[in-house]
Amino acid sequence: MTGDPTELQQVVMNLGTNAAQAMNSRGVLEIALDMTEIVEAQALSHGNLPAGRYIRLAVRDSGSGMDQATLERIFEPFFTTKPAGHGTGLGLSTVHGIVAAHRGAVDVKSQLGQGTTFEIYFPQIEPASAQADEGEGEATEVPVEYGNGETILVVDDDTPLMQLAEEMLAALGYEPVGFDRSPAALNAFSADPGRFDLVLTDEVMPDMTGVELSGKLHEIRSDLPIVLMTGYGRTLR
């Protein structure tokens, strides 16, 4: 697809912030990107989706969810259920505007007490026409957040990938500590749980999967932020 990186980042940020707020900062936030083909035109919660190929961004949370009355108004400018001073109610109307400008559509599913899933569909553009649109070598810079020496536990059974992640994190100003065996990572963490600010772990690993490792880490330190990654398309549960 073609799009404005700053605007697309804003979409992810606004949906992610809402999700975090709906979970009171505790719960599971899942962000996924995949490609999908819609064979027959579909009605979504907020608009219609013509048949075609789409890039789908899903932001799922295990938070408070919404009732039907709220769900019907979420994209209205200044609609908020948050106390005064906590929300302007502009987050989702901004998302809606950006998605519309990219000729996309939004589907929202929510259940009170269970959580919410926002799915954004962006029309897929054939590489040839995308190139024609972009012009030669006109890559747009995406602003990057730098770390401040925070210690990140990196776990991936694929050693070269783990090392690559370490290098990238170090270049971004973080202090990575990598392991290619999940039990070894667990040992290092148990030895000094306060040392780590974040865990970045692969899901599909022998000995202990990322989800299993996360459970054990959370038994030791329940407030530890963990980011699960996987190159496999299956849903994490």
Ligand X SMILES: Nc1ncnc2c1ncn2[C@@H]1O[C@H](COP(=O)(O)OP(=O)(O)OP(=O)(O)O)[C@@H](O)[C@H]1O
Nearer to ligand X, 45 or 93 (CB): 93
Give, as ranges, the residues between 64 and 103 that touch Mg ion (CB under 5 A): 91
Task: Give the phi and the psi of residue 41 in degrees, each rounded to 5.
Answer: -50, 140
Give the shortest CB-22-to-Mg ion separation in angstroms: 9
**Is 199 buried (19+), middle (13-18) or exposed (0-12) by CB count in 10 A?**
buried
CA pair distance 63, 222, nearest whole angstrom: 17
Tell me if 116 contacts Mg ion by CB under 5 A. no
CA pair distance 166, 83, nearest whole angstrom: 41
Binding footprint of ligand X on the chain (CB under 6 A): 14, 18-19, 22, 61, 63-66, 70, 74, 79-82, 87-93, 116
Of 18, 110, 201, 209, the one binding Mg ion (CB under 5 A) is 18
Give the shortest CB-78-to-Mg ion separation in angstroms: 12
The percent helix, strand, coil of the chain (3-state, each to 5) is: 35, 25, 40
Single-letter amino acid, residue 27:
G
Give the shortest CB-231-to-ligand X separation in angstroms: 26
Residue 182 binds which entry of ligand X, Mg ion, none, CB below 5-8 Å type-dependent: none
Spatial CA neighbour of 171 closest among 182, 163, 181, 160 = 163
Binding segment toward Mg ion, per CB under 5 A, in 16-24, 27-35, 128-136, 185-193: 16-24
Give the shortest CB-33-to-ligand X separation in angstroms: 18
| Sheet hosting strand 105-111, strand order edge to edge | 29-38, 52-61, 115-123, 105-111
Task: Give the phi and the psi of residue 120 in degrees, each rounded to 5.
Answer: -110, 130
Nearer to ligand X, 61 or 180 (CB): 61
Give the shortest CB-44-to-Mg ion separation in angstroms: 20
Q: How far is CA 127 from the centre of its chain?
A: 25
Give the shortest CB-17-to-Mg ion separation in angstroms: 5
Nearer to ligand X, 115 or 210 (CB): 115
Residue of this chain nearest to Mg ion (CB atom):
91
Residue 214 binds which entry of ligand X, Mg ion, none, CB below 5-8 Å type-dependent: none
Number of residues that bind Mg ion (CB under 5 A): 2
Residues 108 and 117 sit within 8 Å (Cβ to Cβ)? yes
2 DSSP 8-state letter? -
Nearer to ligand X, 110 or 209 (CB): 110
Residue numbers of the site for Mg ion (CB under 5 A)? 18, 91
